[in-house]
Amino acid sequence: MAAAKDAQNGGVMEWRVKVPEGASVTVEYEAGRATRAWAWLVSCVDALASRVSGFAGRVWKIGADDPRRVLHGLKVGFALALVSVFYYTRPLYDGVGGAAMWAVMTVVVVFEYTVGGCVYKGFNRATATVSAGAVALGVHWVASKSSDMFEPVTAAATFSRFIPTVKTRFDYGVTIFILTYSLVAVSGYRVDALVAMAQQRISTIAIGIFICLAVCLLAFPVWAGQELHRLTARNMDKLAGSVEACVEGYFAEAPDDKRQSAAPLASATNTKAEGYKCVLNSKASEDSQANLARWEPAHGRFAFRHPYGQYKNVGAAMRHCAYCVEALSGCIRSAEAQTPEPVKRYLANSCMRVATRCSAVLREASSSITAMTAPRSLDFTVAEMNTAVQELQSEVRELPSKVAEEESAQLMDAVQLFTVTSLLIEVSARIEGVVDAVDTLATLAAFRSADDEMPAEAADAKLQTVCDPVSVEPEDARTTKTIEQVLSCSRQNPTCK
């Protein structure tokens, strides 16, 4: 094997390999290191650009889905600009001393997305700072007299974080208490210097909390109570759509093409059918928003003592129902022992009717929560659902005899159908628990009647329809009119009955 330069090829290096037949094979020379490095650099730049564009797209989608998040960033920047005036303006800086930075730190740690979160953190920070400072000053004074530090104070505060009530509502305050106590207790200042330092820090922290509350309340406020209210109604709508989509996907007619035989299963696993997952994953959000909503002042139709805790009960009832919907969805997606289409047709109409009634009940309850009106027709919708369930149970009892009449079908082929039917009936039973929780919420929150929400023109029209003397006849008049019609018909035609 030898290497040679071919002048006719422009001096490009080639390798010639001798083969037994005497011919030669030309192999192109490997690209240089500079070319490989350039290609690697270009690929890295392309990958980086792709990642940056993907990240920018996700950020844009987050802001487009909820513009209030963008407004929250602007509000935080505005609050920081206001509190920075105390740090960069000489007269104000001289008034608060070197502790002006504590006001900036307070805005950073206290400002939250919702009003309830801002009030919650502001109250905890103020209370914890004052109480911890007072305790630390007392301990410091006693220690200076008796040369004995009270370490049990910090241990007791740390242990209190294990108490469930304190952990839920005052965990942030306990953390600030431990921090402030430690900073003051271990400092080497004299007692008089500690008092002056405590006064400066308390004043600057109060300034920061006041600015946070003012900006959060006055500039496009986001209420945790309203967010919890909308989340509950939205999850209920998704649960209603999930029940209906699962049953529709299961009883959809199978296509003639065998290659598309999985289409009903695919339709049962679409986004609408998986709406129950939002209900199952919303517990942490519901608990957090319910806790923050308790700190909010009265606003709109949400009174001071609005029953935010009942929303958690409604959410728990929906999750109890969503667990059964998840089992129903899993049974439908199961590829084992699919029920033949002729057997499924026996209960298709009844199951679809039950699923439709269940969805109607959930949507009616969701509309009641959204409008904050008493569910006037919800009992009637529940009665229709129970009637449909009873009809389905009657047809399930007759299914074995109908399956036995089929020559090509056996009772074992209907096992999955029996499972789906049983789960659907259980879903309807658990929906009644959701209805009870909604009724309790309507009573505790004093939801207004639907008639109160009706416009004046509609109310007048309804009243006119009820009180119309032409449309309402006395019982005797209707009886007399019926008798006269029968007699007239008999005189004209003797065979009329």
DSSP string, 281-310: T-HHHHHHHHHHHTTSPPBTTB-TT--HHH
pLDDT tier at 403, thresholds 50, 70, 90: low
Mean pLDDT, residues 237-241 taken together: 93
For tokens 């129903």, the residue is: 328
Higher pLDDT, 246 or 481: 246
Amino acid at 432: E
* Whole-number Å distance between alpha carbons of 94 and 463: 71
Boundaries of every domain in the chain: 2-65, 68-218, 224-453, 465-492
Sheet holding 24-28, edge to edge: 2-5, 13-18, 24-28
* Whole-number Å distance between alpha carbons of 1 and 486: 120
173-228: per-residue pLDDT in tens?
777 777 776 666 666 555 556 677 777 778 888 888 999 999 999 989 999 999 99
- Identify the pLDDT of residue 442: 92
CATH code matching the domain that covers 224-453, chosen among 3.40.50.620, 2.40.70.10, 3.30.565.10, 1.20.58.220:
1.20.58.220
pLDDT tier at 409, thresholds 50, 70, 90: low
* Whole-number Å distance between alpha carbons of 109 and 123: 12
Residue 81: CB atoms within 10 Å: 11
Q: Which two tokens stand for residue 370?
A: 């959204």
Query: Among 50-64, 350-364, 368-382, where is mean pLDDT lowest?
Result: 50-64
pLDDT tier at 252, thresholds 50, 70, 90: confident
* Whole-number Å distance between alpha carbons of 460 and 469: 15
- The residues near 110 (Cβ < 8 Å, ≥ 6 apart) are 118, 121, 122, 125, 208, 209, 212
Are 243 and 356 contacting, i.e. CB atoms less than 8 angstroms apart? no
2-5 and 13-18 strand pairing = antiparallel
pLDDT tier at 5, thresholds 50, 70, 90: very low
* Whole-number Å distance between alpha carbons of 143 and 193: 16
pLDDT tier at 265, thresholds 50, 70, 90: very low
Mean model confidence pLDDT for the chain: 75
Q: DSSP class of residue 274?
A: T
pLDDT tier at 41, thresholds 50, 70, 90: confident
Q: For the chain, how many residues are written?
A: 497
- Identify the pLDDT of residue 406: 60
